[in-house]
Structure 1
Amino acid sequence: MTAALRNGRPARERRLPGDVDMWVMVLGDLFFFGCYFVTYMVFRAMSAEEFTASQRHLSVGIGVTNTVVLLTSSLFAALAVIAVREGAVRNAQRLLLATGACGVLFTLIKAYEWYVEISRGYTIQDEFFGFYYVLTGVHLVHVAFGLIILGVAVRELRDTRRRRPTIVEQSVLFWHMIDLLWVVIFAILYLMR
C-alpha cells in the first residue's frame, strides 16, 4: 500500500488550517489578551480581598451558561469544517449559521448580565468591575467581528463561483480563538478566588 492510499482512500494532506495571515491575527489577539490577563492578575494580587468581594456579585450560573453556549458553537464550527471538506456545502452553511446563532445568544446573555450588574451599581468605579467590563467588552467586540466573518463564510458558500473551503477554516479558526479566550476569561473572572 502506498502512502497516498490508506484503507482504499487517498491520504489527506496534513496542513495547518487557515492561512498565515489569520494565524498572525489570532496570535496577535492572544498576545494582547495575554498581556491584559497578566495585568489583571497583578492588580488582583495587590487587592485580593476587594477583588474577591466584588467577584462574588457575578452570577456563576450565567457564566457557565455562556461557556456552554460558546463551547456548543465551537462544536458546530468544527463540524462545519468537516462538512465543507467532505463537500456537504449546505450542511456546512447550516452549521455556520448555528455557530452564529450561538454567538448571538452569547451576546444577548452577556448584555443581560451587564444590565443586571450595572443596575445593581457595579460599575467601572469598582476596580474588579473595571477589569470585568473591559475584558468582556473587548471579547464582545471579537464576538461581533467573528459573527461578521462567519457571515462572509456563509455568503461565499452560497455563491458557487466563490466557494473556498479555506474561508470556512479561517472563520472557524477565529471563532475557536474567541471561545478559547472566553474560557480563560470565565476562569479568571468567575471561578478564581
Structure 2
Amino acid sequence: MSDADPISAADAARIRLVAALSGVARQDRAALRQVYEMTSAKLFGICLRISSDRGAAEDILQDVYIKVWNRAGRFDADRASPITWLCAIARNTAIDWQRASGRVAVAPEEAAYAVADDRIRADQGIEQDQQTARIHHCLGELEERQGAAIRAAFFDGLTYADIAARMDVPLGTMKSWVRRGLQRLKGCLGDD
C-alpha cells in the first residue's frame, strides 16, 4: 500500500473515459462501447432537452457517437475534460438538428429528470470514498503480516492456503493472523 492519496471516483472515471477515447481514436469498437456506456445518459439528456422529442434525441445521439468515432483522434486531454468535449459535440449536433428541422422549442428542464442516470449520487460517492479511506487507514494500523494477509485474501482473492505458502508459514498460523487482524480491523472501523 502506498502513502499516496487514493484518487477520487470522479478522477478515476475521467481517466477511464480518456483511455476509452484514445481507444476510439484507434478505431476500437469496444472502446466506443465503453464511451457510450459511460456517457450516453448524460448526452441523451442534452439531446432531449434541445430537441424536445425523444425519437429525435435518439437519432441525434446516434449522430453524436458517429462524430465521436470520427473525431476521437482530435481530442486532447490536456486542453479539455473528456465529458466537456463530448457534451459540446452533443449540444452542437442537437442545435444543428434543431436548425435543420426548423424547430426552436426547447424541452423544459424537468424533462431531464425522466432520463435515467444509473451513476451513484454525489453524496453516495463521497460516502464511499470516505469509507474506502477509513478501511485503508485501519488496514495500515494492523501489524504488517496481518495487513498483508488480509489484503491478499480479500483484495487479491487468494485462499488462506495460497497466502500461507506465499508467506512460508503454516496454514493454522495464517488463519490466526487473518482472524486477529479482522478483529482489530472491526474494532478500528467501529470507532467513531
* Same fold? TM cut 0.5: no
TM-score (normalised: structure 1):
0.23
TM-score (normalised: structure 2):
0.24
Q: With CA pairs under 8 Å and 6+ residues apart, which has the higher RCO, 1 or 2?
A: 1
In terms of Rg, which structure is larger? 2
